[in-house]
Amino acid sequence: MHRLFKSPEGTPRLYLRIAACVAIVGVVLWFQPQINEPAAQVSNGLNLRSAPDQRAERLAVLPVGTTVEVQRCLDDLRWCNVRADGRSGWVSADYLVARSDGKRVRLAEAGRQMGVVIETAKPGG
């Protein structure tokens, strides 16, 4: 065997160990499930909140046109958990619009058809 892969004592060399680790990591990454988080845009200035409640702490105000990743929505499609500009929080789904079949639709109306993850109970409840 080539001397890069075996030391004179017969033990595997560092290169072989590194190659094996890289191969394992590559296989693990290759078979990771794809999570498709639909993108939506803010249609009106929108408060990003700490919880799905109008009285919850306001974390930020998202300006019109801000693109957000929709992580999940509550079962009634009134509130969605989104990620925007490195922040996560809850927004009213009434003010999120997305593209579905080439048309602009409100997420509150078309979220299920778009494959948005639905949460059946309020967080913590």
Cβ contacts of 17 within 8 Å, gap of 6 or more = none
Share of the chain above pLDDT 70, in %: 75
How far apart, in whole angstroms, are the C-alpha atoms of residue 70 and residue 4?
49
CB contact at 8 A, 90 and 72: no
Beta bridge partners of 62: 46
**What dotted CATH number matches 39-119?**
2.30.30.40
Residue found under tokens 């009634």: 76
**pLDDT, tens digit (0-9, with 9 covering 90-100), for 25-71:** 776 666 654 445 568 889 888 999 999 999 999 999 999 999 999 99
Per domain, the residue ranges of the chain are 1-32, 39-119
Element (H, E) at 16: helix 14-30
Of the pLDDT bands very low, low, confident and very high (cuts 50, 70, 90), residue 87 is very high
* pLDDT score recorded for residue 21: 76
